[in-house]
Each structure stands twice: as structure tokens, then as C-alpha cells.
Chain A
């Protein structure tokens, strides 16, 4: 266990549903990230939060809405998703905020959009 917990582990939703993914880190880190992992594609950065402030939005569609209430918690709110959004969504954290530190990943949420 690396100290980064994601829930739920699996999620199936329809295109009209609204759901949220949750991530919590118990490592005292200052940066948190959302990554999308699709089959045979690179890990795609979605959002970065440093000290609970969003510092990067990698041109992510507005149907994905992140929320970071504090440095330990990160949410990804989902609404009106498309089938191509089906993927593994990984949360990560790092101690530092300049991108040059070890990332600690959660186990991910496997999302299926029907």
C-alpha cells in the first residue's frame, strides 16, 4: 500500500449519469494529479493540483470536473461522459510541486461508460 487510496475500484455508468471518483493520500504530499490510462496509449495527464490550487488543466473536456478541497483529497466529477471515456483513471501524489519527484499512484478506478 503506497498511501494513495482511490474509490471506487470499478465503476459502470451510463452516458447521462453523474458520478464522482475519490482519491485520498495519507503521505502528507503537496501535489495531486489525475491521469487517464487507456489501452495501448501513454498515461495522459489530466489535472494537477499544488497546495490544493489547480496548476494544470491538460485540455480536458468540461464533462470532467476536478475538485481539491485540501491537499489530501482529490475528486473527479463525471457527467454526460462518452463511451470513449472508458479507461483506468489513476490518481497520484508527490511531495514536491515542481514535477521532478517520485509519483505515488493509487490503484485506479476502472471506468466503463455504456
Chain B
């Protein structure tokens, strides 16, 4: 089955700096890669996703890149703000012949220092 590794487990940046979170996956047939943000005491919410037919997707200050050859994808947050502080989870969905539900990474706790 799919295995998703996420690094780092914690990340502290100064307000205005960029933050990068990286994930690797094991199943080369995986084709959908979402990122979820979970603020303290709240539910996870989707912030951006990417499918295997594109290499990069951007939405304002956040972007995701995908390298299918290396089987890794990354979340990039620019001009970080204190409200970006949260736990971020990456996930991957196996291809059509595999398990269809998402496999999540272990999470990255991002702290943006004002």
C-alpha cells in the first residue's frame, strides 16, 4: 500500500519568510495529492491540491509542486503570516487499482513568529 513520509515535523519561521514542507510517496501510480491545514483545536481543511498531470499549482501565497519521477511533492508558503501557524498534512491517493482513500503524512507543525 501507499506510504507517505513528511518532513520536517516542526518548522519555525519569522513572519514574512517562506516555508517549505516536503512529502514523499511510495506508490508510483498515485495521482492525487492534497494538502490539509489544521489549526489548533479545529478540523483539518483542504488548502490546495494537485493531480499527477500537472507539475505545479499556485493559489495566492501557497503553491504545491510535484515531481513524479522522484515521487515527491512540496508545499510552499510565501510571505508567511501568524495566521499560517497550524499543522499541515500532505496526503496521496493510490491509483485506480489501489486503495482509493487518502494516505496522510504525519504532519508538520508550522509556527510563524511575529
Contacts and interface: CB of A to CB of B under 8 A. Distances in A.
A56 B103 CA distance: 13
Interface string A74-114: 00000000000000001000000111101101111000000
A61 interface: no
B105 to A, nearest CB: 6
Interface of A: 2, 4, 33, 40-45, 48, 55-56, 90, 97-100, 102-103, 105-108
Interface in B67-114: 89, 91, 93-94, 96, 99-107
Q: Pick the most buried of B31, B46, B101, B102: most chain A CB atoms within 10 A of its CB.
A: B101
5 contacts: A42-B104, A99-B93, A99-B102, A100-B31, A103-B46
B99 A43 contact: no
A99 B102 CA distance: 6
Contacts of A41: 106
A90 B43 CA distance: 8
A105 B34 CA distance: 14
B105 A42 contact: yes
Given A100-B31, A103-B102, A42 B107 contact: yes
Given A43-B44, A105-B43, A105-B44, A99 B106 contact: no
Nearest to A101: B32
B86 to A, nearest CB: 14
Contacts of B99: 56, 99
Contact of A99 (B9, B46, B101): B101
Contact of B104 (A43, A97, A98, A99): A43
Given A42-B89, A42-B106, 10 more contacts: A40-B106, A42-B4, A43-B89, A56-B101, A99-B32, A100-B32, A100-B100, A102-B49, A105-B45, A107-B43
B43 A106 contact: yes
A41 B105 CA distance: 8
Given A56-B99, A100-B93, A2 B43 contact: yes
Contacts of A44: 104
B4 A99 contact: no
B42 A45 contact: no
